[in-house]
Chain A
């Protein structure tokens, strides 16, 4: 704690522009959440003017709208539609090119140093989760690693939740304890507008040392922690405890059929999820067929094709596909990767066109939990 405190400084709100200048001077492209078509997207920002200052999301199941917030803060909004996942695991990328001789020419990973400003604690947790997926198995994804190394993560601790947030119940936020290079707390009260800046890595410390500020006061550090606590308490959604075991005994729950009546299997939830990692590969060949490119791209367990095996798809029904997604995310992820696959960001709730809310679906399963005798029974 004292160690962390020693690394923290306070700087005025104009220090944010100075931070961007330092990052640019170091060769980073600076990315952040910016407004587009009434929503937030992750993209390059040229200055603090590109930040959605004063704006907040009005998020609900099936709806995310950016509206005017109550105060002039830079970071009262929460999450852009996409997380930084796409910067470490692009939606599509070419793996190699080859002629018919199959002498494979690997496509190198082209990275530029990118500093992402405003990464929320849930998304930091998601980055850790992805790291485990791509690096803990028998094979390590070196493409992921190269892109991850090129990223500088500047976290912003949340002071205000969106209504879809439930990180507090997933223990991933709203305050980041690790996984960042720099973390910012935005304090805006009594006419003062300042940032508490803390370093979480050597790279972060090096940048922090070049910022104009003073050692953060005890009061400011306390105000930052209080802000996080208030944000946690203000969260209205939460994931029920025991979701892992509940889902593992709910394979045959009648609720799946009910969800399937609403679910469009559109894949939106998986596309905005910061941890969904499923992918596929496809070949693209030249017109004369002499040269082939192999591409890797995101895939979704909501498509019929996803589970295709000779003779047909394993998961033909939307009910089994929704069950697969949520059971993987909240239950089997623990078996496969040692943690939950959900970080509580709530994107899948807001960006679901019909407003399916995984916290509500888990609650509905729990409400009708027959606890035993579910497994091993043939449903059809």
Chain B
């Protein structure tokens, strides 16, 4: 880590950063009513290798560009997978694409989850809502590296039972002592037999050896703020908690100034930050 607590990253010095590469929608899967997973393939066949936690700028012809985390398996590079919720003009256009449509891609951009830090330790993944998408690459990695981890615990909070992202995958995980999934919803329906409440409620009971735990967190900022507090309060070392931050991004490469969070340019210095680098910033009004 450097002086202001950011994760180190190697300078890439790539020249022209603002030109998208053409990709084709290979498959489209509706996750929820307003949420779609797109599998993209490069038009020129040149795969786009990425690390867990990185994002791309996705471009829809004539509409614009938006920053989206890669939600696929970093070990599989010939398809590029993003999970997108339709919340704005560009994300709506992305969700409306069909197989065979083209998408522009810039990236991969930003830093990545420090996966190797979890080796030999308990890995706790905490996600809120669509925040499960940017941590799914961690889950793929963790499942492939189970013997190098003391345990894997996935803690997931979402609005309602019909808002469980990747539900078949998540519920289909064959849990064992070494792999547990904790889930909670804000609003239950009649069929829900699980927990109701905020995700932080699950954390104390699911932590094993807090001092031997590395936590990776993604969700709405308010959720990450309280999750960071809950993890630290339970004894997880602050520098072993990592959050993926979000701000408006127009360039993704440090030139447009939109994604500032205090001293950080989230696209350049993040999106993954150690908790101490963002802890105080998250409680400043309208930063």
Contact = CB atoms under 8 A, between A and B. Distances in A.
A134 interface: yes
A240 interface: no
A202 interface: no
Nearest to A379: B285
Contacts of A251: 284-285, 287
Given A281-B250, A317-B286, A336-B263, A98 B258 contact: no
B285 A137 contact: no
Contacts of B91: 310
B208 interface: no
A192 interface: no
A281 B64 CA distance: 8
Given A98-B61, A102-B61, A142-B15, A376 B258 contact: no
A379 B87 CA distance: 28
Q: Is the interface of B mostly helix, strand, loop or mixed?
A: loop
Interface residues of B, number: 52
A139 B258 contact: no
Interface stretch (A69-77, A207-215, A301-309): A301-309
Interface of A: 95-96, 98-104, 106, 133-134, 137-142, 251-252, 277-283, 285, 289, 292, 294, 296, 299, 301, 306-311, 314-317, 319-320, 324, 327-328, 331-332, 335-336, 375-380
24 contacts: A98-B61, A101-B22, A102-B102, A133-B255, A134-B255, A139-B12, A139-B17, A139-B254, A139-B255, A251-B284, A252-B284, A279-B257, A296-B18, A299-B258, A307-B258, A309-B247, A310-B88, A311-B87, A314-B287, A320-B285, A320-B287, A335-B263, A375-B283, A378-B283
Interface of B: 4, 9, 11-20, 22-23, 43, 59, 61-65, 85, 87-88, 91, 102-104, 246-248, 250-251, 253-258, 260, 262-265, 268, 279-280, 283-287
Give 9 nearest A-B pairs by CB, closest first: A278-B257, A335-B263, A320-B286, A310-B87, A139-B17, A285-B62, A102-B22, A292-B62, A137-B254
Given A279-B250, A280-B258, 8 more contacts: A100-B102, A102-B20, A140-B15, A279-B251, A281-B64, A281-B251, A285-B62, A327-B262
